[in-house]
A and B are shown apart, each in its own frame.
Chain A
Amino acid sequence: MTRDDGWLQRTRRSFLIEAAALAGAAGVALPRAVEQTSATPASMHAAVKNIVGEAPLNKGKVKIDVPALIENGNAVPLTVSCESSMTQEDHVKAIHVFTEKNPQPNVIGARLGPRAGRASLSTRIRLADTQKIVAVAQMSDGSFWTDEVEVVVTLAACLEGS
C-alpha cells in the first residue's frame, strides 16, 4: 500500500465517523424541533413532576374556573382558587398552571403566603388547541393538590403568522 492510499483511507474513515456523528446529531435534534411546536401530555407531566418531585399529587382543594367552550384562544379568562385557611401554619405556598398542547406546558407559576388572605388568582391565558388545563397547588405542609379541566377551543391562539 502506498503512502497515498493510507492517507485516503484515513480521510475516508474520518469522513464516515463524521457522517455518522452528523446523522446521530440530526436524529436527536429532529424530535426536539418537533416537540417545540407543541407540548405533549408527556412533557406536561414532566413539567408537573419538575414542581412536585416524588410527592403524591392529590385531587381536590384546587378549583380551576375557565369557560368550557372558548371561542378565542388568544385571551381566555382563567381563575384558580384553592381552599385554605391561609394562616401562618396552613397556607398555600404556590399555584402552578400547565397545559397539555400549548407550545410550552408552563402557563404561570405564582408564589403566595399567609399574607395573601385568600389563595386565588385570575389571569388571561392563551390556548393553542382543545386541551386539558392542570393546576397544581403546593401547601405549606408540603402536600400537593391538583385539578384539571378539559376545554374546547374554537379559534386557537395564533401560532401561524398573522
Chain B
Amino acid sequence: MARALINAPAKAKRGEVIEIKTLISHIMETGFRPDSTGKPVPRDIITEFICKYNGEEIFRAELFPAIAANPFLTFFTVAGESGTLSFEWTGDNGFTAAESVNITVE
C-alpha cells in the first residue's frame, strides 16, 4: 500500500481553523509520455481524494494528470469536535489508500 503522510494538529481549540497537509506516494503517470519503444505509457493516476471529519465530508478533490507525482494537498477545516480525520484516495487500476488521524478539540 502506498505510503501516506498526514500533517494535522493533534490538538486544537474549538472553532479554530486548522490546516491539514496530505502527501501520498504515487507515480501519477500521465498517459501522455511514450516509453522507449514509442508507445504511450498507460495512465496511472489518483483520480479522487476525500477527507472526512467524524464521517462528514469536508473536502473532496478530483485530480487530473497535471498533478505532480506524489500528490500533495493542503486545505483547511474548522475544528468542531474531538474525533477522527479520515482520508481516502482512489485511482486508476483499482488503487485505493486510506489513512486517519485523531484530533483532540478543547
Contact = CB atoms under 8 A, between A and B. Distances in A.
* A and B pair up: yes
Given A115-B56, A118-B17, A108 B63 contact: yes
B75 A124 contact: no
Interface string B57-87: 0111111111111011111111010000000
Contact of B68 (A74, A110, A160): A74
Interface residues of B, number: 32
A112 B59 contact: yes
B89 interface: no
Looking at B30, B66, B77, which has the most chain A CB atoms within 10 Å of its CB? Answer: B66
B64 to A, nearest CB: 4
A162 B69 CA distance: 15
Given A109-B61, A112-B58, A124 B67 contact: yes
Interface string B33-71: 111101000000000000001001011111111111101
Interface residues of A, number: 37
B32 interface: yes
Nearest to B28: A126
B64 A107 contact: yes
B33 A158 contact: yes
A108 B64 contact: yes
A52 interface: no
Contacts of B17: 117-118
A110 B66 contact: no
A127 B65 CA distance: 10
Nearest to B22: A123
A146 B65 CA distance: 22
Contact of B66 (A102, A111, A120): A102
A110 B59 contact: yes
Contacts of B80: 115
Contacts of A27: none
Given A107-B64, A115-B53, A120 B59 contact: no
Given A74-B68, A112-B58, A118-B76, 17 more contacts: A102-B66, A108-B66, A112-B60, A112-B75, A115-B80, A116-B78, A117-B78, A122-B72, A123-B71, A124-B71, A125-B68, A126-B30, A126-B66, A126-B67, A161-B33, A161-B35, A161-B36
Interface of A: 36-37, 74-76, 79, 99, 102-104, 106-113, 115-127, 157-162
